[in-house]
Amino acid sequence: MLGIQFVDKSWEQIRGVPIGREGEFVYLLRSQTAKYPERLMCEVKVVENTKIITIRSTYKVENLTLYPLELMLVDDIGHPVSSLEKIAPGQDYSLPIDAVTQHRIRIQPDRMLFEALLFLFIEYSCLKRDSAINGAPQFVITIY
């Protein structure tokens, strides 16, 4: 059995977390000051004869796209309240337990990819009109 206590947090201690069998176990983090309890995930698995215990938020973002993503927690008006996290294709990121209910999540394509796509969009938007053929205007798309 395992006990969990967070330092500098008002959550009550969690006692009796079983680590004898594999699985995902969810526990409530109760606080005297919060209106609603937070949730904690305790994941137990065995990899190559080594027991791995992961303690994380129940909120996880999985990148199932082919492109890297950027994730940031923001306040109600969109200002960043955390550092930028990059999530590679096929990877995941667990959101901070105490920040999930207090902030919003902004997810977007990786900035470098986004700028490349935006450049392509701008090039497409600023099409040059070529001379008309058979009365219909012709457009030229230039991709660099």
- Convert the pLDDT of each residue in 21-39 to its tens digit: 999 999 999 887 878 888 8
Domain map (residue ranges) of the chain: 1-58, 60-109, 110-144
pTM above 0.75, yes or no: no
| C-alpha to C-alpha distances, 117 to 32, 92, 112, 128, 133, nearest whole angstrom | 48, 24, 9, 19, 30
Q: Looking at this protein, which amino acid is placed at residue 136?
A: A
- Convert the pLDDT of each residue in 83-125 to its tens digit: 899 999 999 888 888 877 788 888 888 877 666 555 554 444 4
pLDDT classification of 136: cutoffs 50, 70, 90: very low
The highest-confidence range among 46-50, 74-78, 80-84, 101-105, by mean pLDDT, is: 46-50
| Phi/psi at 119 (5° precision) | -60, -45
**What does the DSSP assignment read for 109-123?**
E-HHHHHHHHHHHHH
Give Dmax over CA atoms of the chain in angstroms.
Answer: 81
